[in-house]
Structure 1
Amino acid sequence: MPPLRTVLGSVALGALALGALPATAAPKGRPAPTIDDGLMRRVIATLASDAMEGRGPATAAEPYVLDYIIAQFKAAGLKPGNRGEWLQPVPTVSITGSQFSPLTVTGGSAALSFQPVKDFVAFSYRAVPETAITDAELVFVGYGIRAPELGWDDYAGVDVKGKVVVVLVNDPDYAASDETGLFKGRRMTWYGRWPYKYEEAARQGARGVLIVHDTYPAAYGWNVIESTSTRNFIQTPNRGMDQTEANGWIQKPAAEKIFAAAGHDFAALSAAAARPGFKAVPLGLKASYSFRNQVKTSVSHNVVGLLPGKGAPDEVVLYSAHWDHLGRCKPDATGDDICNGAVDNATGVAGIVALAQAQSQAGPARRSQAFIALTLEESGLLGSEYYAANPVFPLARTVGGVNLDGLAPGGRSRDMTMSGGDKSELNTLFRKHLAALGLRESPESNPERGGYYRSDHFSFAKRGVPVYSFGRGNDLEVGGTAAGQAAAEDYTRNRYHQPNDHYSADWDMSGIVQEVSLAYRLGRELADGTGWPNWLPTDEFRAIRDASRTAAAAPAKPAKPAK
C-alpha cells in the first residue's frame, strides 16, 4: 500500500459499468450481522507474528501464510473459488539492471553525455539478458497522452516506431489550484502516471521512453527514482517483448540541455504541450545507451474463496486484500529484521475474513461473492494485476467489489474520505450510505499525488472497473481532527514499512470495525442488487468498461454448420 495519507485507513470499492445504481439496501428483511472484532484481532495477530516472517512472497514462509488464510476462509463458510481450488498461481519475474553505460546524444553541435543514476535511470520490461539502444531518434511527445474521450492525442501525426520518446511527467493540468480542467485540474489522472506513459509508448511502437523528472509535478524527488534497481513484473508468454526495449527517467536539467542542442527551448515546448492541439516535435538528435539485465523467476499465489449467489450466480462481487508484506528487511536499532506488516496489510486480510463470515451469516445474496487474498501488492500490485488479466470470474460479469488496504487501529470517525474524485455513479452510492449512518464526506488530501492508482483496486480500474477508495477521515469522535492527523502522521513516520509495524492487544479496533461495517453495507447492496454502476462519461475508463459490458450482453453467434 502507499503510505497512509491523512486518513486512518483505506477501503476501496469497485463496480462495473452500464445501467443504474442498485435500488435496494443490503440485506432486506434482517439486520446486518455484527463485524467480529475478536476474529479480526486473531487474524491480525497471527499474520503479523514473527512466525510468518513478514509474509514475503515466494519465501519459505508463504505456505504457512496460505494455509492459515485458507483455514480462515473455510471457517467463514467459503468454498474454494478457483474452479474447485483455493489457490491461483501468480508467475512473476524480477529484472535487475547493471553495467549501465552513459546516455549519449548526438546530432547537435557537440555530443552530449549523461551519467547513469546521476542524470538518468533506465530499465527494461523485457526479460532479456542485455538492452542496447543505438542511434535511436529522439521525439518529444509532450505528456504522451492519447485520451479520445477528451479529444487529446499527443501521438497524432507522428510515427515513433523504433524511436525514443521524451515525455513530461504528470498531465497538462497539474499546476491548477483546484480540480477544474480537462484533466481534472490538480487531481492526477491515470494519464499522468508513469506506468500509463510507458504502456502508451509501447502501444505506439516506441523503442524507448525517457520521462522528464520534475519534483513538483512528480510529487517525489529524484531519490525515489534512483533508489530502485530491481523491478518486478508478471511473467508473460512473450517475456515482455511487446513492451518498449527501455523505459526510464531523465533529470530536468539534462533534458533542458538536450532540447537546447536541438535548437529548442524546453520551457516553451513544455508550455505548448499543455495546450490542446500540441503536435509532437522530432528533435533531430539520436540517443544511445545500454545495460545488462539479471532475470529471476518465481511463483507466488492468490487465495480465492466463494459464496455462491442464489439468483444470478454468474454475476460476482469481489472482496480483496493483499496478504504480502516485505518479509525480512533492514534491521532497526534493536536488530529486528522482520517487517511484520500488522497494519499493512494483516488488517485488510482480517477485514475480508470478517466480511466473509458476515456475508455467510446473512445468507446467500442474489449474486455470488468472491473473496481474494492477493499477493505481491508491495512489488507493484502484481497479484491483482495477474488476477485482473486472468480473472477466475470474467470482469464483464463482475459487478464490483471492496478492497481493504491498511486499516489503522484507532477510534471511530465522524467523516469518511474518498480518493479518486468524482469518477463514477458509485459516489452516489457511497454518499447515500454515509447519510444513512450520520457521517459526512471530507475532501481527499493531496489528490495531485495519484494515490488512487497505487493500490490493488486499480488493477481492476485500468480494465474498466470503476474503483473508489474510502477510509476514516481525521475527525475522530474522541480527539477530533488533531488526534486523527497525529495518528496518521505517527504511523507514516514511525511504522510504515518498518519492523515495528506490530499488532498490539491494546489496539482500539472500533475504527476498523466502523470501516469494515460500511464495506459490508456497500458490498451487500451490490450483491443483492441488479444494477451495474458506470463511470462518468468523461472518465478515462468509461470506454473500456462500456465495450466489455456491451460484448457481455450481446447474444452468442450461432455456430457455423459443418461443411
Structure 2
Amino acid sequence: MPSTQVRPLLILLAGAVALAGCNRASDSAAPVTSATSAPAAASTATAPAPASTHAFVPEIVAGDFSEHVRVLASDAFEGRAPGSPGEQKTVDYLVGQFKSMGLQPGNNGEWTQVVPMTETTSSDKTTMQVVVKGKPHTLKFGDDMVIGTRSGQKHVSVHDSDVVFVGYGVDAPEQQWNDYAGLDVKGKTVVILVNDPGFHANDPSLFEGRRMTWYGRWVYKFEEAARKGAAAALIVHDDAGASYGWDVVRGSWSGAQFDLRASDDPAPRLPVQGWITGDQAKALFADAGLDFEKLRAAANKRGFKAVPLDAKASVTLDSTIVEKTSRNVVAKLPGTERPNEAVVYLAHWDHLGKHPDETGDNIYNGAIDNATGVAGILEIAGEFAKAPPKRTVMFLAVTLEESGLLGSKYYVAHPAVPLKDTVAAINIDAMSTFGPSKDIVVTGLGNSELDDVLKTIADKQGRTLHAEATPESGFYFRSDHFNFAKAGVPALYAEGGEDLVEGGSAAGRKAAEDYTTARYHKPADEFDANWNLQGTMQDLDTLYQVGRVLADGTTWPNWRAGNPFRAARDASREGAKTP
C-alpha cells in the first residue's frame, strides 16, 4: 500500500478511461445464471469485511469520508468487480449506510436496481492473421492488439476480410465530414484513428480543435463501423490521441468484458472490435506500400477518401458467455414540497476486481477510482438528511462504469424518477486527496446553466472555475453523467483543481502525473491514511451546496443555446408542462 502519496481527482481524470471501457473484471466473479436474480452472496472463503467501530456523524467530515474509503477499498472487497463477492459486500455496505441515515429505498420501494449484463471472456491466446500483399503477419493478443466481441456469440470468425483505412471513422453531416463517403465496408475490417481530426492537425477549424467531441470516442467509432456493416474494426493507438498508454488498453480489454444485454441496449454491435498498436499499424501499412504518417495527415483534411490496403484479415474468437446481473444502489430523501421533482447525485461503485493470474498484489482496490466518489455521495446524503429538501434528492451508486458507463445507461433507460422531472445530475468520479486548491475543474465548462450555480458558490470561496486541462482527452464522455446528458438532463461534473494552495499548479501537475503513471487502474490505487483531505471536504461542501440550491429552489436549469443536448431537454420539459 502506498504511504504518503496523495492522488488527486484531476490525476485520475488525466488517465480516466473513458476507455469507458476499463472493462477488466474479476476472474473470480461468481456466475449468476438468471438474468433477473441478484449476484450470489459472498463465499465464506473470502475475507470478511474489515471491522469498523467508527461512529459516523451527519455532517461532512474527513473522518467519516476516510472510513468509507478504507472499507470500500479494502482487500476484503476484492476490487469491487460486478458480479463478484465484492459486489455483494459493497451493496450491503451502501444500503446499510443509507438506512442508518434515515433515507428511503429509491427504486420503487427497493434499495437496488437489477442491471442485466452479459459477461464475455475471450481467450488471451487469440491471434489475428493479416496477409499483406501475400506476406503473413501474426498479431498477438496484448503485445500487438487487443480484440473482443460484443455480439454475445461464443464463436465468432472473420475470414479473409478486406482491410480498409477509413481515417477517423466519422460520419458527421453537421461537420460536413464523412470518412465513409462512397464506400461499402460490409464484411470488411476497418482501421481507424483515435480522437478527432482537429486533435492531430491542431486545427481549431476542424470539429472543436483539440477538444475531443463525441466523434473522437472509441465507443462512437465502433458503433459507426457497425452501422456501416463492418465485420471488424481496429483503432490505432497512440498515447497522445488516446490520453493513456498501451498498458491501459491492454489491461482494460483483457479478461472478462461486460455489456448490457442486446435487448436492453439497441446500439449496433460489431462481431469483432479492438485496438492495434501504432507500431503494428505502421508495419502493416508499410508492407502494403503505404506511408502511415502521410495517410494520417491526409485524414485530417476535409474530403479525405478511404484507402484500401492490399490485405486480408482473419481471426477466430472463442469466448465464454455468461448471463449475469449486477446492481445499482438507489436511495432517496423525499422532498417536502415537490417530491415528484428530483436532483440526482451519482458515483460508480465498481472497479476492476481481483486478477488471480497476476503475481504479487493482484487486487485492483480502486480507492481513488471510485471509492472516493461513493464516499462523497454518502457524506452528502448525511448532510441532506439533517434538513430534508423541498425537492427529492436521489443518491445513485451505479455499477459497470468501468465497462462503458453501463449501470448509469441502464438507469437512464429505466429511471426511478422520470427524466422530465429530474432537475439535474451531479456526478462524483474520483476526488482530490492532495489538499485544497484555488480552482475548481468543470469538465465541459460552458455547456449548461449549472455552471452559474456553481460559480456563485465558488466565488464566495474565492475559487475560480476552469475547464479540464486536457479537453482533447474527452473526459466529458467518459463518466456516468454523460448518459444523463445524452438524455437531456443537465449534468455537472466538477471537482477540485490542480492549482494547489500549497505548491500551486506545478505541485498539482506533479501529483497528476504520479497518479496516472503509478496508480491509475493498477493495484497501487489503495487507501492512504495520510491523504490530505482538507480540499476534499471543501469540494464535497461545494457540491452539496449546488444540490441544496437546486433541491430547495424552483428553477429548471438547461443546456446553453446551441448545445446538442438542449433539444432533448426542451422536448421533455415541454411534455412535462402539457396537461
TM range (shorter): 0.7 to 0.9
How is 1:243-282 mapped onto 2 (pairs within 5 angstroms)?
A: 243-252=269-278, 254-256=280-282, 265-281=291-307
Asked if structure 2 preserves the Cα contact closer than 8 Å seen for 1:168 and 1:213, the reply is yes
Residue 303 of structure 1: SS of its match in structure 2?
strand
Asked if structure 1 preserves the Cα contact closer than 8 Å seen for 2:8 and 2:431, the reply is no
Q: Which ranges in structure 1 are unaligned for 5 or more consecutive residues?
A: 13-32, 559-563
Residue 69 of structure 2: SS of its match in structure 1?
helix
* Alpha-carbon distance change, 112 to 254 in structure 1, aligned in 2, over 3 angstroms: farther
C-alpha deviation, 1:252, in angstroms: 4.1
Q: Identify the range of structure 1 (58-67 vs 315-324) with the bigger mean alpha-carbon deviation.
A: 58-67
CA distance, structure 2, for counterparts of residue 551 and residue 475 of structure 1: 39
Q: Which ranges in structure 2 are unaligned for 5 or more consecutive residues?
A: 1-5, 17-57
CA distance, structure 2, for counterparts of residue 505 and residue 273 of structure 1: 49
The TM-score with structure 1 as length reference comes to 0.81
* Alpha-carbon distance change, 320 to 277 in structure 1, aligned in 2, over 3 angstroms: same
CA distance, structure 2, for counterparts of residue 214 and residue 513 of structure 1: 37
Q: 1:325 is matched with which residue: 347, 351, 355?
A: 351
C-alpha deviation, 1:479, in angstroms: 4.3
Partner of 1:291: 317
Partner of 2:215: 191
Q: 1:121 is matched with which residue: 146, 150, 156?
A: 146
Higher relative contact order (Cα pairs below 8 Å, separated by 6+ residues): 1
Partner of 2:423: 399
Q: 2:157 is matched with which residue: 129, 132, 135?
A: 132
CA distance, structure 2, for counterparts of residue 261 and residue 340 of structure 1: 43
Asked if structure 2 preserves the Cα contact closer than 8 Å seen for 1:331 and 1:338, the reply is no
CA distance, structure 1, for counterparts of residue 165 and residue 517 of structure 2: 39
C-alpha deviation, 1:126, in angstroms: 1.1
Partner of 2:334: 308
Partner of 1:55: 80
Asked if structure 1 preserves the Cα contact closer than 8 Å seen for 2:200 and 2:300, the reply is no
CA distance, structure 1, for counterparts of residue 197 and residue 116 of structure 2: 36
C-alpha deviation, 1:247, in angstroms: 1.0
Partner of 2:438: 414
Partner of 1:511: 535
Tell me which amino acid in the other structure corresponds to 2:82.
P
* Alpha-carbon distance change, 358 to 519 in structure 1, aligned in 2, over 3 angstroms: same
Tell me which amino acid in the other structure corresponds to 2:272.
A
Deviation readout 1:353-396 (Å, 9 max, x if unpaired)? 2211222323322x322101122333443322332343333334
CA distance, structure 2, for counterparts of residue 338 and residue 286 of structure 1: 40
Asked if structure 2 preserves the Cα contact closer than 8 Å seen for 1:6 and 1:489, the reply is no
Partner of 1:550: 571
* Alpha-carbon distance change, 556 to 132 in structure 1, aligned in 2, over 3 angstroms: farther
- The size of the alignment, in residue pairs, is 527
Residue 128 of structure 1: SS of its match in structure 2?
coil
C-alpha deviation, 1:403, in angstroms: 1.4
Q: 2:120 is matched with which residue: 66, 90, 95?
A: 95
Partner of 2:400: 376
Residue 430 of structure 2: SS of its match in structure 1?
strand
* Alpha-carbon distance change, 476 to 277 in structure 1, aligned in 2, over 3 angstroms: same
Deviation readout 1:113-163 (Å, 9 max, x if unpaired)? 342335443321111111111233434332111233333332344333333
CA distance, structure 2, for counterparts of residue 214 and residue 534 of structure 1: 33
Deviation readout 1:469-526 (Å, 9 max, x if unpaired)? 3222233334444544454455555554555655455544321110011111222233
C-alpha deviation, 1:464, in angstroms: 4.4
Deviation readout 1:88-133 (Å, 9 max, x if unpaired)? 1122222222353432347x5x354342335443321111111111
Q: 1:235 is matched with which residue: 260, 263, 268?
A: 260
* Alpha-carbon distance change, 267 to 38 in structure 1, aligned in 2, over 3 angstroms: closer
* Alpha-carbon distance change, 356 to 318 in structure 1, aligned in 2, over 3 angstroms: same
Identity %: 45
Matched, 1:7 2:26: no
How is 1:214-233 mapped onto 2 (pairs within 5 angstroms)?
A: 214-227=238-251, 228-233=253-258
Asked if structure 1 preserves the Cα contact closer than 8 Å seen for 2:450 and 2:557, the reply is no
Q: Identify the range of structure 1 (45-54 vs 258-267) with the bigger mean alpha-carbon deviation.
A: 258-267
